[in-house]
Structure 1
Amino acid sequence: MLGGCNERQDYTHFNLNIAMEFLNALNVQGRVISALTLRETRARYGNSKLGFFWALFEPFAHVVVFIGIFSALDRATPLGDSMGLFILTGIIPWLLYSNIVSNVMSGLSTNKALLGYPQVMPIDITISRVALEFSTLFLVMLFFLAIAHYMGIRIRIDSFLEMMKPTGLIILFGTGIGLINAAIIPHYPSYSSIFNAFSRPLYFISGIFFTANFLSPEVFDFVDFNPLIHLIEWFRSGFYPSFESDLYDPEYAVFICVGIFTLGLLVERLSSKKARQV
Structure 2
Amino acid sequence: MSDAPPLRPVHRLPRLATGRSIGALILREMSSTYGRHWGGYIWEIIEPAAMIMVLALIFSAGFRTPALGTNFAIFMATGFLPFYLYSDVANRTAQSLSYSRQLLSYPRVTFMDAILARLILTLLTRALVSMIILTFILYVYDTRTILDLPPILLSFALAALLGLGVGLMNAVLMTRFPIWRSLWAVITRPLIFLSNVIFLIERFPEPFSTWLEWNPLVHVMALSRTGFYYSYRPDYISPGYVVGIALILAVIGVLFLRRYYRDFLEL
How does the TM-score come out when normalised to structure 1? 0.83
For 2:51 and 2:194, locate their aligned partners in 1 and report how far apart those are by CA, in whole Å.
15
Match of 1:266 in 2: 255
Match of 2:147 in 1: 157
Q: CA deviation at 1:174?
A: 1.4
Q: Which moved more, 1:95-104 or 1:75-84?
A: 75-84
Of residues 146, 149, 152, the one that matches 2:135 is 146
> Is 1:135 matched with 2:119?
no
Flag the structure with higher helix content.
1
**1:24-57 residue CA offsets vs partner (Å, 9 max, x unmatched):** 3223222321221122112212334342233122
SS in structure 1 opposite 2:99? Answer: coil
Q: Which residue type is aligned with residue 157 of structure 1?
A: L
Match of 1:216 in 2: 205
For 1:89 and 1:268, locate their aligned partners in 2 and report how far apart those are by CA, in whole Å.
34
Unaligned runs of 5+ residues in structure 2 are: 1-10
5 Å-filtered alignment, 1:181-192, equals 181-192=170-181
For 2:139 and 2:163, locate their aligned partners in 1 and report how far apart those are by CA, in whole Å.
33
Match of 2:159 in 1: 170
> Is 1:203 matched with 2:188?
no
Q: Which residue type is aligned with residue 158 of structure 2?
A: L
> Is 1:126 matched with 2:115?
yes
| Identity in percent | 31
Cα distance, 1:134–1:66 mapped onto 2, change above 3 Å: same
Match of 1:94 in 2: 83
For 2:46 and 2:180, locate their aligned partners in 1 and report how far apart those are by CA, in whole Å.
29
CA contact (8 A) 2:194 2:201 kept: no
> Is 1:52 matched with 2:41?
yes
CA RMSD of aligned residues (A): 2.2
**1:246-267 residue CA offsets vs partner (Å, 9 max, x unmatched):** 1223332222122112222222
For 2:202 and 2:33, locate their aligned partners in 1 and report how far apart those are by CA, in whole Å.
39
Q: Which moved more, 1:113-122 or 1:245-254?
A: 245-254
Cα distance, 1:262–1:165 mapped onto 2, change above 3 Å: farther
Cα distance, 1:52–1:213 mapped onto 2, change above 3 Å: same
For 1:74 and 1:243, locate their aligned partners in 2 and report how far apart those are by CA, in whole Å.
20
5 Å-filtered alignment, 1:248-263, equals 248-263=237-252
Of residues 101, 105, 108, the one that matches 1:112 is 101
How does the TM-score come out when normalised to structure 2? 0.86
Aligned residues: 256
**1:228-259 residue CA offsets vs partner (Å, 9 max, x unmatched):** 01111112223333321212233322221221
Q: Which residue type is aligned with residue 120 of structure 1?
A: V
Match of 2:168 in 1: 179
Unaligned runs of 5+ residues in structure 1 are: 1-20
Q: CA deviation at 1:192?
A: 0.6
Q: Which moved more, 1:227-236 or 1:38-47?
A: 38-47
Match of 2:20 in 1: 31
For 1:190 and 1:152, locate their aligned partners in 2 and report how far apart those are by CA, in whole Å.
45
Match of 1:62 in 2: 51
Cα distance, 1:270–1:215 mapped onto 2, change above 3 Å: same
CA contact (8 A) 1:108 1:182 kept: yes
**1:201-230 residue CA offsets vs partner (Å, 9 max, x unmatched):** 112101111333333332212312211011
Q: CA deviation at 1:121?
A: 0.6
Q: CA deviation at 1:119?
A: 1.7
For 1:276 and 1:219, locate their aligned partners in 2 and report how far apart those are by CA, in whole Å.
41
Q: Runs of at least 4 residues of structure 1 off by over 4 A?
A: 275-278
SS in structure 2 opposite 1:217? Answer: coil
Q: Which residue type is aligned with residue 237 of structure 1?
A: T
Q: CA deviation at 1:196?
A: 0.5
